[in-house]
Amino acid sequence: MQVLYPRCAGLDVHKDTVVACVRCVSEPEHHETRSFATTTRELLALGEWLVEHGCSHVAMEATGIYWRPVWHVLEGQAELVLANAQHIKNVPGRKTDVNDAMWIADLLAHGLIRSSFVPPQPIQELRDLTRTRKQLVREISQHSLRIQKVLEDANIKLGSVLSEVLGVSGRAMLGAIIEGESDPHRLADLAQGTARRKHDELVEALHGRIRPHHRTLLRLHLNLIAALEHTVGEVDAAVGKSLEPIHQRARLLTTMPGISEVSAEVIVAEIGIDMTRFATPGHLISWAGLCPRNDESAGKRRSTRLRKGGTWLKTALVTAAWAAVRTKASYLRAQFQRIKARRGARKAIIAVAASMLTSAYFILRDGVPYRDLGPTHFDRQHRDKTVRRLLRRLHDLGYSLPHQLTPA
């Protein structure tokens, strides 16, 4: 087998150690393996050792978070390749740290490792911020559910009357309950806006058995929610600052139905704005895990389930797709309705999410706004087929058609 990289190295990265194997087939030909700690000083020594051997390419596994500091230290000293651990599994029964490093080096030398997508440093920092924001919002939702659990334990049916327990009216009532108020009529009087129309229902829902224990739990959860919301505001400010150099590209994504500013920030944080890293939109869709897996044997397709991976981007796109299909007179809604009739809503929404990612690819690549194909795109594209189908349906229902319109 042809050797593409005569001087390269494979790294088996762990939490506290890195086992490195240098593979040199040019003069002087040799293999050498050494182990380094993962402290900054040791990683710098690893970089110097690789430079001494003239390694042009260095490969490592994507093992949790441990590969990132190694990548940051070695970046710029050689061409780095990040490998998916599932793609470079060694032969079972021969697994040691040294063998793993040698195996990675051998695969790299023959060009058998497909490099994973690693965005540039600014995009990585933006990605950390958007993912942290999503985790914080998720924690706020969890504390909201815990508040409702406490209210149910006290037989306060606030969630059955108000659409949002932590809205303006709900927070005012919860604050009064924490301060010791238990009269349902006084609590119901704190309602604001449209909630005032439900005064009698609120009085009935707020008639419960509140104990000091419930007030303590409500105070704790509300304080935590307030702290989390303050932190989310700080993260939003940091995201806005990180987006300043590429804000115009991210803003173009919001011209697509279903894409809010937050969704646009998540998309840019996950895939960046340099679309040359993906050869075609299909490669990007595959990387995001929005297309069926290849699972075929003996000419039979065994599974069409989605490939695991890309959870952050996939979740954001599916959420945006559900919002997009509610936009009337749009291509995305027409696509959803067309596929839903044949394959069901679940597969239809995945197809819409894939279409939205395809549009995002061209928007970011060309720097142009979204242009909708219109709700009649499929009818225009398959006009004759649609006419034949409708005529056949009329014929099946018993309608007499002129001879020239009789379906074939």
Question: 408 pLDDT exceeds 60?
Answer: no
Which pairs from 383-392 meet CB under 8 Å and 24+ separation? Answer: none
pLDDT tens-digit map of 2-12: 888 999 999 99
Percent of the chain with pLDDT over 70: 97
Helical ranges in 34-75 per DSSP H = 40-52, 67-74
pLDDT tens figures, 325-375: 999 889 999 999 999 988 899 999 999 999 999 999 999 999 999 999 988
Which pLDDT band holds residue 178 (cuts at 50, 70, 90)?
A: very high
Q: What is the dihedral of CA 270, 271, 272, 273, to 10 degrees?
A: -140
Residue 299 has a pLDDT of: 74
Please state which of the ranges 172-176, 186-190, 317-321, 380-384 shows the lowest mean pLDDT: 380-384
Structure confidence at residue 385 (pLDDT): 80
Tokens 């599916």 -> residue:
318
- What region does 282 belong to: left with phi over 0, alpha with psi -120 to 50, or beta? alpha
- CA angle (384 as vertex; 382, 390 as ends), nearest 5: 100
pLDDT of residue 397: 83
- Residue 82's pLDDT is 93
292 vs 234: which has the higher pLDDT: 234
d(CA 93, CA 73): 32
How far apart are alpha carbons 2 and 376 in whole angstroms? Answer: 53
Mean pLDDT across the stretch 96-100? 88
Cα separation, 245 vs 268, in Å, equals 12
CB-CB contact of 359 with 320 (8 Å): no
What pLDDT shows up at residue 93?
Answer: 67
Question: What's the fold here for domain 7-109?
Answer: Nucleotidyltransferase; domain 5 (3.30.420)
The larger pLDDT score, comparing residue 364 to residue 383, is at 364
| Side-chain half-sphere CA neighbours of 158 within 13 A | 30
Residue with tokens 């093992």: 63
**Residue 266's pLDDT band (cuts 50, 70, 90):** very high
**pLDDT above 70: residue 125:** yes
Q: Domain residues of the chain, as ranges?
A: 7-109, 122-244, 246-366, 378-408
The number of beta carbons lying within 10 Å of the beta carbon of residue 314 is: 20
- Per-residue pLDDT band at 272 (split at 50, 70, 90): very high
AA identity, residue 313: L
Multiple choice CATH, 122-244, 1.20.272, 1.10.287, 1.10.3470, 3.30.2000: 1.10.287
User: What secondary structure does DSSP assign to 247-269, as a single string?
Assistant: HHHHHHHTTSTT--HHHHHHHHH
Helix 331-343 crosses helix 311-324 at what angle (to 10 degrees)? Answer: 100
Residues 2, 109 contacting (CB under 8 angstroms): no
pTM of the predicted protein model: 0.85
Average pLDDT score over the chain: 89
- Tell me the residue ranges of DSSP E strands in 14-63: 17-24, 30-37, 57-61
Cα dist from 197 to 24, 202, 297, whole Å: 79, 9, 63
Q: Which token pair is 106?
A: 């051998």
Q: How many CB atoms lie within 10 A of CB 119?
A: 18
Question: Has residue 26 got a pLDDT over 80?
Answer: no
Question: With contact defined as beta carbons under 8 Å apart, do 189 and 203 qualify?
Answer: no
Averaged pLDDT for residues 112-125: 90
Q: What is the CA radius of gyration of the chain?
A: 29
What's the rounded mean pLDDT across residues 275-282?
91
Whether the per-residue pLDDT at 396 is higher than 90: the answer is no
